[in-house]
Amino acid sequence: MDLFLEALAWLFSPEQYQGEGSIPQRTMEHLAYTAGATLIAALVAVPIGYFIGHTGRGGTWVVGITGAARALPSFGLILLLVLLLGVSERVTASLVALVLLGIPPLMAGAYAGMQQIPRATVDAARAQGMTEWQIVGKVEIPLSLPLLLGGLRGAVLQIVATATLVAYVGLGGLGYDIIQGIPLRRFDQTIGAALVIVVVALTLDGLLAAATRWVTPRGVHQGRLADVRARDSLSRTAPVASAVASPEKEITQQRKTTP
Amino acid sequence: MEWLLANWELVGSLTLDHMRISLIPIVLGFLISLPIGWFAERVPATRGLVLGGVGILYTVPSLALFMLLPPMLGISVLSEANVIIALTIYAVAIMVRTVADAFASIEPRALRAATALGYAEWGRFFAVELPLAGPVLLAGLRVVAVSTVSLVTVGVLVGIQSLGYLFTDGFQRRIIPEVLTGVVMTFLVALLFDAVLVALGRVIMPWSRLATQPARAGA
């Protein structure tokens, strides 16, 4: 526990808040890497994910890429790209690595968000006389937002965590004090920096979780459409009653929940 | 390729280290998350709390967790236990939600039928619930396995020998083939673990292949 006290002493000593390499500066660097990489990843991944989700073609492709990306060691990817592009291009190389990490979850979120919309809903919009662009803009995108933001949350989580490693190639960010402190055995510094990283990561995740709730349209729960006019009890305690009331309904509902 | 041929012994021994360090968190994580996830699903009041809690654990970046665990547990930062415990925590964080989903996916009718046939609580769990939850559990375990194998490499920053050593050593000596070998080998170990899990699933749960076929209308 003494180490935690020393870490807090390090964390709150005034010299950490001024000059080169101060905690606020490291935090801003970290947020800048994260925001930049997330933005570029979103610009690439979301249109592709939407396109695949809208047309329904290439879905297995998305699933495959998302799975394979998980097996890629992000730390190795950063070092490899820095060596390949040259140490002078280490900012670009690190950014490319972070973008590559952010693309799969964002693409999967955009794809899943579009793909889970029932055909009947889209057909209903078409029957109302909406043009294809209106369907995309007014029906499909709003209904896909909860899952898209879920993907964004996954991407940000990945990128924030991996951005701690770019300090190894000589960049800044909140990982700097840890990576520089380990060989020096400055554990007050490494633990203090780790605490800041945890606070930053949890804050970003909490904000995105709140945003997900905020964009969820009425009648959509966890990315699944629910009938808001007459909500049936789906609880386990009443399946017999609902089965007796409408045997068809229970069967269709259960089929829906098994992917 | 030349580099690999000259250093295959190093790569081989690092690969074995890597597999050993990955295996423990995968197995431990599965065993720990099974009762937690089952409980969260069984007692709905705790579901939000438990899943939210493990969600927070997963949000903590690995490098930060490697720093924070040792002072809490009284172990050395540079010990293998540090990395293994941290990765077990991530495995639990990923797995608990899947376990809860897996048990939730069981049809209540099957459970009622089992009870009607005379299964008691524990007997029903092992003979009915666990096998029916099996396919979803396997899917979660595959995610855990692959991400654990990839995360082990970060352990090199706290001095733990794994394929991650090829990253730092290759980077400092500017040997691109060495870093590339590390990335490719980590990827291959992850694929190997995944393939073993799929094969195990086929042997233990021969019925799960039927479930992956599209359900016929009216079935």
ipTM of this predicted structure: 0.85
Give percent above pLDDT 70 in chain A. Answer: 83
Of the two residues A179 and A55, the one the predictor is more confident about is: A179
Contact A176, A28 (CB under 8 A): no
Q: How far apart are CA A164 and CA B110, in angstroms?
A: 48
What is the Cα–Cα distance from B60 to B81, expressed in whole angstroms?
A: 18
Residue A33 is part of which domain span?
2-257
Provide the number of structural domains found in chain A. Answer: 1
pLDDT value at residue B84:
93
In contact, B100 and B133? CB cutoff 8 Å = no
Over 60: is that where the pLDDT of A233 sits? no
Q: How far apart are CA A131 and CA A121, in angstroms?
A: 14
Burial of B27 (0-12, 13-18, 19+ CB in 10 A): middle
Return all residues near B108 (Cβ < 8 A) that are at least 6 apart.
A236, A239
Dihedral Cα A104, A105, A111, A113, nearest 10 deg: 180
Most B-contacting residue of A79, A244, A252 (CB-CB within 10 A), to test interface: A79
As a whole number, mean pLDDT of residues A16-38 equals 87
Nearest to B106 by CA among B41, B44, B46: B41
Residue A18 sits in a domain whose CATH number is 1.10.3720.10
Q: Does B44 touch chain A (CB under 8 A)?
A: no
**CB crowding B95-116: b at 16 or more within 10 Å, else e:** bbbbbbbbbbebeeeebeebee
Are B198 and B142 contacting, i.e. CB atoms less than 8 angstroms apart? Answer: yes
For B97-135, the pLDDT digits (tens) are: 899 989 888 888 888 888 889 888 888 888 888 888 888
CB of A244 less than 8 A from some CB of B: no
Q: Which pTM value belongs to this model?
A: 0.82
Q: What is the pLDDT of residues A64-113, one digit of tens each?
A: 888 788 888 999 999 999 999 988 888 999 999 999 999 999 999 999 88
The C-alpha atoms of residue B54 and residue B90 are separated, in whole angstroms, by 9
* Nearest to B62, CA basis, from A207, A75, A102: A75
pLDDT digit string, tens, across residues B30-59: 999 999 998 888 888 888 888 888 888 888
CB pair distance less than 8 Å for B67 and A79 = no
Quickly state the pLDDT bin for B218 (edges 50, 70, 90): very low
The alpha carbon of residue B203 is apart from the nearest alpha carbon of chain A, in Å, by 23
pLDDT score of B208 more than 80: no
Asked whether the beta carbons of A253 and A234 are under 8 A apart, the reply is yes
Report pLDDT digits (tens) over B165-207.
999 999 999 999 999 999 999 999 999 999 999 999 988 888 7
Distance of alpha carbon B174 from alpha carbon A146, whole angstroms: 44
Q: A221 by DSSP, 3-state: which?
A: strand
Nearest chain A residue to B189 by CA: give it: A71
What's the pLDDT at A33? 93
Name the residue with tokens 């809490």.
B72
pLDDT of amino acid A253? 39
Separation CA B97–CA B33 (nearest Å): 9
DSSP reduced 3-state for A220: strand
Mean of pLDDT values over A197-220: 86
